[in-house]
Structure 1
Amino acid sequence: MKKTFWLVTLCLAGAKVSFAQHFSHGVGLGYSAEFADNIKTRTSTIITYSPRINVSETENTSVSVGIPLSIGISNTFKAGYSHDNDSTYDYGYSTGFILNVPVMVNFNIGAGSVPGNQKRTGFFAGAGYAYNLSTVNTFTPNEYGPEYEFSRRETKGNSGPAANFGVRIGVGSLRRRHNIEIKTSYMRAISSRKLNVIGLNCLFNF
């Protein structure tokens, strides 16, 4: 499944030359939250680069295929009493890395749907498939040396169906209009962990 996913991703990345009507891309910042029944919710600050290709267009709408790649980091400090023993005070911190690579098919209307569109606002929604990789490094107190020491690293890869929707707001002159995109996204892993990944992004599209 993973090999097929990456093969499709590479093919779409190189499709601009062969069949693209129009290519556009954007970059922005956002937040991502990972949660499941058996793990604590982890939030990350993410940077997103979002290239997309319009494969079908009308004057005010389009169907696009995109790969909104997100990379992020998290830093969490924990302090409190242990669940196993209420008299034991436990503290430490963890740092994390997240990589999210979805392949999305979107229906776009209004601003940002096609080059030269004069609308001030636009909307989009779509679905696809995503791969999510996350690494967490845990550090615990050290009584005999530095204040904290590395204790554990956990790396997990998950994949599953994904969906996104959002709005675009046109900015700039009518002749050289760009747009600001506000987007939410959701991924549901099909692995045994049943990981959920929710994202909120704000991008500037060129």
Structure 2
Amino acid sequence: MKKTMLLAIICLASISSFAQRLHHGLGINFISFKPKGFRDNTVGGGITYAPYFCFRENDKRSLSVGIPLTVGFGGNYYRDDYKGDPAPSVMVDIPVMLNFNMGCGSSGSNRSRFGFFAGGGLGFHYQGVFDHVPPDEPSGGVTELKKTTWGPGVNAGIRYAQPGCIFEYKLSFMQGISGSKAQVFGIGCIFNFR
């Protein structure tokens, strides 16, 4: 898994050397994370830093590669014939996405007020989840399990321009194929700087 992520970062760096334009933004992302074998979803939210490099661009469309990194906190209800209190845990989401961009935000020369993007790539997700263990365990009946997964993902969204910035709303999904094999859903809003 580490070799795959390293390869993705190297590819991003090599593409960025030919990139025509770097965009970056800040925003928030809400994520629903369900490891295989768990009954309950873990939900969380965090701050997103979203750099992306546009290449193969013209005044209407472009291809881009980006890493919308989200760091935040999540929580779940642990239960086994009872419902406990929500327990917070650290969450990190790192997708590497190749997108097709049309209209607003696709290039520096595009003056459209509206645009969209869609694409796919590879992602990594880490999150702690809490689960009930037998009462005679030293953890007092609850344990935190570190869950990581990576796998293919897709995302799509819309953009619209305001003076000095571009707002972006997006949906994302990743299907984990390693570790916890979790399904990771996301919905976010990003403020892209011009």
**TM-score above 0.5, yes or no:** yes
Counterpart CA distance in 2 for 1:98 and 1:90 is: 22
In proportion to residue count, which structure has more strand? 1
Counterpart CA distance in 2 for 1:73 and 1:105 is: 26
Unaligned residue ranges in structure 2 (runs of 5+): 134-138
Partner of 2:182: 195
- Per-residue CA deviation, residues 75-105 of structure 1 (Å, 9 max, x unaligned), is 44567xx43xxxxx55344222211111100
Partner of 1:12: 12
Is this contact kept in 1: 2:22–2:53, CA < 8 A?
Answer: yes
| Structure 2 residue identity aligned to 1:158 | T
Partner of 2:67: 67
The TM-score with structure 1 as length reference comes to 0.81
Greater Rg by CA: 1
Q: Does 1:29 align with 2:28?
A: yes
User: SS at the partner of 1:59?
Assistant: coil
Is this contact kept in 2: 1:36–1:195, CA < 8 A?
Answer: yes
| Structure 2 residue identity aligned to 1:115 | G
Q: Mean alpha-carbon deviation: is it higher for 160-169 or for 2-11?
A: 2-11
Counterpart CA distance in 2 for 1:162 and 1:188 is: 6
| Structure 2 residue identity aligned to 1:101 | I
Matches within 5 A, 1:33-112: 33-39=32-38, 40-76=40-76, 82-83=80-81, 89=82, 91-112=84-105
Counterpart CA distance in 1 for 2:57 and 2:27 is: 25
Partner of 1:179: 166
| Structure 1 residue identity aligned to 2:149 | N
Identity across aligned pairs (percent)?
35
Matches within 5 A, 1:125-164: 125-136=118-129, 151-164=142-155
| Structure 1 residue identity aligned to 2:41 | T
RMSD: 2.6
Counterpart CA distance in 2 for 1:158 and 1:122 is: 32
Is this contact kept in 2: 1:95–1:138, CA < 8 A?
Answer: no
Counterpart CA distance in 2 for 1:91 and 1:156 is: 20
The TM-score with structure 2 as length reference comes to 0.85
Aligned residues: 188
